[in-house]
Amino acid sequence: MSEIRQMTKIEGEVLVAYLRDIPAEGWEQITVCDPWAVGHIVAHLTAAGNQTYRNLAKGLVLSRFDLDKFVNRDLRTYLVGSVDERLSRFEESVRNPSTPGSLREIVLGEMICHGEDIRRAFGNRGDHDAEHLAQVAPMYAKTKPPLNGKMRAEGLSFRATDGDWSHGSGPEVNGPGIDLICALAGRPYALDQLDGEGLSTLRSKF
What is the full per-residue pLDDT of the chain (206 aa) written as tens digits? 589 999 999 999 999 999 999 999 999 999 999 999 999 999 999 999 999 878 777 866 877 787 788 788 889 999 999 999 999 999 999 999 999 888 999 999 999 999 999 999 999 999 999 999 999 999 999 999 889 999 999 999 999 999 989 999 999 999 999 999 999 999 999 999 999 999 999 999 99
Q: What count of Cα atoms within 13 Å lies in the side-chain half-sphere of residue 119?
A: 20
- Bridge partners, 37 (sequence order): 30
117 and 18 in one domain? yes
> How many other β-carbons are positioned within 10 Å of the β-carbon of residue 122?
14
107 and 142 in one domain? no
- pLDDT of 52: 82
190 and 138 in one domain? yes
107 and 13 in one domain? yes
113 and 36 in one domain? yes
Last residue of a domain, one of 97, 121, 145: 121
Last residue of a domain, one of 121, 145, 160: 121
Residue range(s) defining the domain that contains residue 148 = 130-203
143 and 54 in one domain? no
* Domains in the chain, number: 2
- pLDDT of 90: 98
163 and 114 in one domain? no
Query: Using an 8 Å Cβ cutoff, are 141 and 160 in contact?
Result: no
156 and 104 in one domain? no
134 and 117 in one domain? no
124 to each of 1, 54, 150, 167, 189, how far by Cα in Å? 31, 37, 27, 26, 11
150 and 113 in one domain? no
Smallest CA-to-CA distance from 50 within 93, 10, 91 is with 93
Last residue of a domain, one of 100, 121, 142: 121
